Every structure is written in C-alpha cells, then in structure tokens.
Amino acid sequence: MKKKTKIISLKNHRATNPSNETLTIEKLKTFKALENLSEEEAQQMLLEIKVLSAVMIDLLNNQQKENSENDLTLNEAA
C-alpha cells in the first residue's frame, strides 16, 4: 500500500504572519540578507513568492480533496 503523506492544515496557522499583513518591498527588505535588494529585485522576489504561494495553495487544496475522496471511498468499502 502506498504510504500516505500527512499534510498539516494551515487554515488556523498564523505564527509567521499573525496580523495577515501583505508582504511589501519595505517589509521584504527587513529580512537578513535582503536589505540591499534593488527595487526591481525586490519586486521580482515578491512576484515569485506570490506565484509559489499560489502553487502551494493549489497543491494543498488538491491533496485535501484527494484525501477527502479517499476517506469517502474507505468509508463506503467498510
């Protein structure tokens, strides 16, 4: 049987951004090693972070949907 990877729900997880603030160039530049980014580099990095975030959200949603479908199948078989 294929080993099932457990994905932790991040719905209620706000430890990294408790006030749900949008990441800005100014905020990005407050992180160590990013202080000297040019405006263009910082803007590109923000875009890449947004794209990666969207991909991760889609992946998590698909995994959650797949897990729900698998649970339904297992319950029907029982």
- d(CA 28, CA 67) in angstroms, rounded, equals 35
Residue in 60, 64, 63, 27 with CA at minimum distance from that of residue 46: 27
pLDDT at 13: 59
pLDDT digits (tens, 9 = 90+) for 42-74: 999 999 999 999 999 999 899 888 888 777 676
For residue 6, tell me if it sits in a domain. no
For residue 11, tell me if it sits in a domain. no
pLDDT at 27: 94
DSSP 2-62: PPPPP----TT--SS-TT-PPP-HHHHTTSTT-TT--HHHHHHHHHHHHHHHHHHHHHHHH
pLDDT at 58: 92
How many domains does the chain contain in total? 1
For residue 68, tell me if it sits in a domain. yes
pLDDT digits (tens, 9 = 90+) for 10-31: 566 556 777 888 999 999 999 9
Say what the pTM is: 0.63
